[in-house]
Amino acid sequence: MPAPLEALRSTFGYNQFRGRQQDVIDRVMAGQHTLAVMPTGAGKSLTYQIPALCREGTGLVVSPLIALMHDQVRSATAAGIRAAALTSADDNRDETMDRFVRGDLDLLYVAPERASTEGFRRLVQRARLSLIAIDEAHCVSEWGHDFRPDYRTLRGFTEMLGDIPRLALTATADNHTRADILAQLHIPEEGLILAGFDRANLRYSITPRDGIGRQLAEVLAENKGSGVVYAPTRDATEKLAAQLASAGRATRAYHAGLDPQVRAANQKAFVSSEDMVMVATVAFGMGIDKPDVRFVAHAGLPKSIEAYYQETGRAGRDGDPATTHLFWGAEDFARARRRIETDVEESRRGGERQRLNAMAMLVEAPTCRRAILLRHFGEEPPERCGNCDNCLTPPSSFDASVVAQKLLSAAFRTEMRYGVTHLSDVLAGKETDKILAAGHHRLSVFGIADEEELRLVKPVARALLARDALRADDYGGLSFGPAARPILKGEEGLAIVLPPKRERRRKDRTTGQD
């Protein structure tokens, strides 16, 4: 049996391990159970292929993606590894089973539904296993975004295998999902290895939306290469594409509602171009191989930090500098929260809320974006990266607790059905028709905010909506969310961030220079 480093060089032709591959391989070689969380492209396959070559017996790989499995078998075989797959699509199953039992296979790929059959269990007992690798391991967790019931049965299967080292692999797993995988597959906590999430060449910027057409036009003006603009709906996609095209840049749209021929043509044009902008829904980008995307912009909030990481990660895959821009609004949070309450199964709501709260923390943070992302993935990054908006131009963050209390009181006193403009008018003490008609000029909150505070009402409302202290109905009417009372009572403060650029603009406007 070769040593791992020898196998890396002779079989794969690489000189050294990357990231934490070696740590994972060391554990498997020592017979320990492991969960490796590494992003796509980090090199997870080698972490089971090499131990499979270096240990006695066959490495069993459970993978849900049959098409991928055959790719893996092909490339492994090309590298001189004895590999086969056992799926309904393979007609040489008898031969494969024979080789497996004879010990003539380094790697055997199976789908989870096969691994859970009685027949397969009997087969495995006649063979010798070096390890069991469970790919896409987040599928075992109901908490994760891609639960597959077949994965549940793997628990019994791996229990049956006892001491055979288990290696669970995934590219996406938040804290909760990770804990779930460890528990389901009986992997000790110290067996968790994560790394390789940093995309140092990406510059992260996150800005409140404030005229999205103009904001995107600025991104386009500053970024000459090709880019992707993600829009939340098909409609928005087409509208933004038309708007950006009118500024003179080659622009196409991409969403599931387009004629397949148009879609394919647009995609093809984008892949071969060097400066085209694709305005698309998030379906665009999966499986598209274009390493020189120079920027990714989001016109609305991605649905989780994982999604944000994955979507921004489509920029700069060639390793050259690339930029990412997220534009968000309070209404994105309001809409997402309403969707959770109405469209999501009860048992999944907790997870979805938590994912959304993590997004709120990210967009509102005054600190390094990269550090927040990497910590979310379980790494321990430096405090500052020097390549995100907050590191490059530290925003001013200040205590807006008093304004938050005044705004929440105004919502409460007006029976929680008015929008932010009306509440702001009440706090300002304006005698508008609407206020006089409703008698709101007689409330104790009428006219209690000064000019300085009034300028903060909108950013404060945005912050309160993002963290679920305020909720908006379909007409923008604001009512209390669960996080309202502690802020109203002064038990919790509210710090808000004003992006430096916005402050500058506001000043420019008052001096008439904008």
Q: Which residues contact 180 (CB under 8 A, 6 or more apart)?
A: 140, 141, 142, 143, 144
Contact letters for ligand ADP, residues 151-190 (x by CB under 6 A): ----------------------------------------
Residue 138 CB, nearest approach to ligand ADP (Å): 14
State which residue, 39 or 112, has the beta carbon closest to ligand ADP. Answer: 39
Q: Which does 391 bind (CB under 5 to 8 A by kind): Zn ion, ligand ADP, none?
A: Zn ion
For residue 388, the partner it binds in ligand ADP, Zn ion, none, with Cβ less than 5 to 8 A by kind, is Zn ion
Binding of ligand ADP at residue 80 (CB under 6 A)? no
Cβ 395 to Zn ion shortest distance, Å:
12
- Contact, 391 vs 367, CB < 8 A? no
Q: What is the DSSP string of 456-472?
A: HHHHHHHHHHHTTSEEE
Tell me the closest approach of the beta carbon of residue 11 to ligand ADP, in angstroms: 11
> Distance between CA atoms of 482 and 199, rounded to whole angstroms?
36
Q: Which is nearer to ligand ADP, 45 or 357 (CB)?
A: 45
Quick one: tokens of 312? 């921004």
Question: Residue 370 binds which one of Zn ion, ligand ADP, none, with CB within 5 to 8 A depending on kind?
Answer: Zn ion
Residues of this chain, 377-416, that bind Zn ion according to CB under 5 A? 385, 388, 391
Taking a C-beta distance cutoff of 8 angstroms, is the pair 140, 152 a contact?
A: yes
How many chain residues are in contact with Zn ion, going by CB under 5 A?
Answer: 5
- Give the Cα separation of 508 and 3 in Å (integer): 66
Please provide the DSSP assignment of 44-80 as one string.
HHHHHHHHHHHSSSEEEEE-S-HHHHHHHHHHHHHTT
Kindly write out the interface string for residues 353-382 of this chain, putting x where it contacts Zn ion by CB under 5 A and - elsewhere: ---------------x-x------------
Interface size with ligand ADP, residues (CB under 6 A): 12
CB under 5 to 8 A by kind: which of ligand ADP, Zn ion, none does 243 bind? none
Q: Which residue number, 17 or 418, has a Cβ lying nearer to ligand ADP?
A: 17
Give the separation between CA 232 and CA 298, rounded to whole angstroms.
Answer: 8
In the bound complex, what is the minimum distance in angstroms from residue 462's beta carbon to Zn ion? 22
45: partner contacted, choices Zn ion, ligand ADP, none (Cβ within 5-8 A by kind) = ligand ADP
User: Minimal CA–CA distance to 320: which of 285, 287, 286, 295?
Assistant: 295
Name the minimum Å distance from CB 223 to Zn ion. 19
Asked if 270 and 242 touch (Cβ cutoff 8 Å), the reply is no
Considering only residues 18 to 57 of the shown chain, the ones binding ligand ADP according to CB under 6 A are 18, 21, 38, 40-46
Q: Which partner in ligand ADP, Zn ion, none is near 194 (CB below 5 to 8 A by kind)?
A: none
Stretch that binds ligand ADP, among 10-18, 56-64, 144-152, 365-373 (CB under 6 A): 10-18
138 binding ligand ADP? (CB under 6 A): no
Tokens of 78: 């090309």
Give the nearer residue to Zn ion in terms of CB position, either 135 or 389. 389
CB of 298 to ligand ADP, least distance (A): 23
Residue whose CB is nearest to ligand ADP in the complex, by number: 43
| CA-based end-to-end distance of the chain | 71
Strand partners, 84: 108
Q: How far is the CB of 392 from Zn ion (least distance, A)?
A: 8
Give CA angle at 157 (155, 163), nearest 5°: 95
CB-CB contact of 187 with 35 (8 Å): yes
Q: What are phi and psi of 55, to 5 degrees?
A: -115, 155
Does 14 interact with ligand ADP (rule: CB under 6 A)? Answer: yes
How far apart are the C-alpha atoms of 291 and 318, rounded to whole Å? 5
Closer of 44 and 406 to ligand ADP (Cβ): 44
**Do 250 and 277 touch, CB atoms closer than 8 A?**
yes
Residues with Cβ within 8 Å of residue 506, at least 6 apart in sequence: 455
- Give residues in contact with ligand ADP (CB under 6 A): 14, 17-18, 21, 38, 40-46
- Give residues in contact with Zn ion (CB under 5 A): 368, 370, 385, 388, 391
